[in-house]
């Protein structure tokens, strides 16, 4: 009996930007008595069905965008006599769908790190259960990934998770509802050990694949102090102290390393935190700007962000502290008007952003927006090819509409083409070159242009804001450019690299050395 873990994708580029972390975490959760699992990442190469034999276990993790491809693989694996197990956020939300359409024998809900062993054992003894509740694990239960199973030469960036969950409650985001609002921070040692392992292999770019790297804001601390909630204040301070401890350890890693993460805009008001990020070599962060107007922020329950000139000033603070921002904007909000697109493009330019992404508002399962939308359309839901649009991920890609919500003043096509226009402007050669001014050497400036172009091809021209002809052209482009880019990101392996010590351990060791010197 072999165990296969499959990351489904409709397109395979041969080279991928970021390692799909779940694949290597669940590989680590696979007991050695079943041997090393066969790992298939379809963003690299499509699955070869002949590798699956009767009696094997096939684990497939899906999110909403790759659910349909996941179901194709599930049915195929089941037809070959394998035990089929689905996991991931989409299966957690729709377990019955995975059973009905994906041939699932079992579905794992929640975190799979611990329960996976039981699932495989049950498959092995022919007693697989329909549902396994993985729950929300405590941070010490998160698995270290099996990076030794990764094809090093095929990924540009590695990914390590330091915290799950986010205390916010944005209406378009499912993280706080699925991963919870209580931040679950992995122990610092575990995170640092994984990062060192990756640098030994030659990865110097690492994405800290967190829901929100800045889970406690200064405002949270102030409020807790005012409410005289001692236990609450203590908990928040402990979470914050752990963040600083992690960053102090990252600061001791080789200087060529670069980390990227995801934080809220409130971090701009916390210079100490931003300085610690810079020292830790966290040189880039995705910041969810979403909208440049107060009405837009209200639309997405993100009133903790700011708008107008204050927004520009806040975003600029990141750069001043050495953190480059990938600003994320949403188009198609009810308060958006045709002039919003230009205003957003201008704000992105003025705010000194290094990269930006412009996404069309799409209600995702598990979000407040989705629940409201589903309830509003009720029984009158539009169907495409017999599938209601509230289950759009089941509509074949070629027929899938680009926009689902009727907008008060703009058509779906208008929003799509205006969104594409903003991508075109932001990533024009002239704009990219202008943005590269902060880079000192010509070769690094050229590398920045290349990376900007590939980012745009991968995310703008393959996303929902594009048309299918452009998507096909773009896939070709990426296939050609990605290997060049990968070489730019890699570094010579450092097999001898040691795990940096905790500051206390380091101080103790140093004082012991001093004492020894004295004795000598
Ligand atoms: S969008 Fe970001 S800040 Fe908002 S809930 Fe999701 S992870 Fe948290």
Cα separation values, 263 from 154, 192, 274, 331, 411, Å:
27, 20, 11, 20, 32
Among 170, 183, 210, 357, say which to mutate for ligand 1: greatest number of ligand atoms within 8 Å of CB.
170
- Cβ–ligand 1 contact at 173 (below 6 Å): yes
Show the tokens assigned to 59: 């684990």
CA distance 424 to 426: 6
- Cβ–ligand 1 contact at 395 (below 6 Å): no
Structure confidence by residue, pLDDT tens digits, 413-432:
899 999 999 999 999 999 99
pTM of the complete model: 0.89
Place 505 in a pLDDT band, splitting at 50, 70 and 90: low
- Does residue 95 register a pLDDT over 50? yes
- Find the 287 Cα to ligand 1 centroid distance in Å: 10
Cα separation values, 287 from 108, 127, 136, 267, Å:
31, 46, 25, 10
Per-residue confidence (pLDDT) for residue 462, from 0 to 100:
43
- Cβ–ligand 1 contact at 211 (below 6 Å): yes
Per-residue confidence (pLDDT) for residue 52, from 0 to 100:
98
Place 479 in a pLDDT band, splitting at 50, 70 and 90: low
- Does residue 464 register a pLDDT over 60? no
Structure confidence by residue, pLDDT tens digits, 21-44:
999 999 999 999 999 999 999 999
Q: Which residue, 251, 277, 266, is CA-closest to 503?
A: 251
Phi, psi of 130 (to 5 degrees): -65, -35
Among 89, 163, 165, 166, say which to mutate for ligand 1: greatest number of ligand atoms within 8 Å of CB.
166
In this structure, the residue with its CA closest to atom 4 of ligand 1 is 170
Among 164, 171, 173, say which to mutate for ligand 1: greatest number of ligand atoms within 8 Å of CB.
173
For the chain, the 3-state helix, strand and coil shares in percent, each to the nearest 5, are 50, 15, 35
- Cβ–ligand 1 contact at 312 (below 6 Å): no
Helices (H), 41-105: 67-79, 89-93, 95-102
What share of the chain has pLDDT > 90, as a percent?
71
- Cβ–ligand 1 contact at 168 (below 6 Å): yes
- Cβ–ligand 1 contact at 212 (below 6 Å): yes
CA distance 363 to 413: 17
Among 167, 168, 291, 370, say which to mutate for ligand 1: greatest number of ligand atoms within 8 Å of CB.
168
For ligand 1, what atom is nearest to the CA of residue 176?
A: 5
For ligand 1, what atom is nearest to the CA of residue 172?
A: 1
pLDDT, average across residues 442-464: 76
């Amino acid at each position: 009996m072999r165990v296969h873990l499959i990351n489904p994708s409709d397109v395979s580029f041969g080279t991928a930007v970021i390692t799909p972390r779940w694949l290597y975490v669940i590989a680590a959760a696979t007991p050695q008595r079943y041997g090393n699992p066969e790992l298939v990442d379809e963003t690299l190469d499509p699955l070869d069905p002949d590798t699956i034999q009767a009696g094997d276990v096939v684990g497939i993790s899906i999110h909403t965008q790759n659910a349909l491809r996941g179901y194709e693989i599930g049915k195929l694996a089941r037809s070959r006599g394998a035990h089929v197990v689905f996991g991931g956020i989409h299966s957690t939300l729709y377990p019955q769908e995975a059973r009905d359409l994906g041939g699932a024998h079992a579905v794992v809900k929640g975190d799979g790190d611990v329960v996976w062993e039981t699932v495989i054992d049950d498959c092995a003894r022919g007693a697989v259960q329909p549902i396994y509740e993985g729950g929300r694990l405590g941070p010490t239960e998160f698995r270290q990934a099996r990076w030794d199973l990764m094809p090093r030469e095929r990924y540009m960036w590695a990914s390590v998770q330091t915290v799950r969950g986010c205390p916010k409650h944005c209406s378009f985001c499912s993280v706080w509802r699925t991963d919870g609002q209580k931040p679950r921070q992995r122990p610092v040692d575990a995170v640092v050990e994984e990062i060192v392992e990756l640098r030994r292999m030659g990865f110097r770019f690492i994405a800290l694949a967190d829901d929100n790297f800045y889970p406690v804001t200064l405002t949270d601390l102030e409020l807790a102090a005012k409410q005289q909630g001692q236990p609450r204040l203590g908990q928040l301070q402990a979470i914050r102290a752990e963040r600083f401890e992690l960053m102090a350890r990252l600061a001791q890693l080789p200087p060529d390393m670069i980390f990227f993460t995801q934080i809220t805009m409130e971090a701009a008001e916390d210079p100490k935190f931003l300085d610690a990020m810079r020292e830790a070599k966290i040189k880039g962060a995705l910041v969810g700007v979403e909208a440049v107007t107060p009405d837009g922020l209200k639309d997405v329950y993100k009133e903790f962000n700011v708008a107008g000139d204050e927004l520009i000033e806040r975003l600029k603070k990141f750069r001043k502290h050495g953190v480059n921002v990938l600003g994320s904007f949403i188009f198609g909000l009810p308060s958006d008007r045709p002039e919003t697109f230009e205003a957003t493009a201008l704000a992105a330019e003025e705010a000194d952003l290094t990269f930006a992404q412009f996404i069309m508002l799409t209600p995702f399962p598990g979000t407040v927006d989705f629940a409201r939308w589903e309830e509003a359309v009720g029984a009158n839901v539009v169907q495409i090819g017999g599938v209601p649009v509230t289950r759009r991920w089941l509509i074949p890609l070629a027929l899938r509409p680009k926009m689902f919500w009727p907008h008060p003043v703009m058509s779906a096509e208008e929003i799509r083409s205006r969104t594409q226009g903003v991508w075109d402007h932001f990533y024009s050669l002239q704009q990219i070159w202008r943005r590269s001014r902060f880079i000192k050497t010509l070769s690094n400036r050229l590398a920045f242009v290349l990376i900007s172009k590939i980012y745009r091809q991968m995310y703008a021209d393959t996303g929902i804001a594009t048309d299918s002809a452009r998507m096909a052209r773009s896939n070709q482009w990426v296939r050609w450019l990605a290997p060049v880019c990968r070489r730019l990101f890699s570094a010579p392996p450092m097999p001898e690299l040691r795990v940096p010590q905790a500051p206390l351990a380091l101080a103790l060791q140093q004082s012991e050395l001093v004492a020894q010197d004295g004795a000598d």
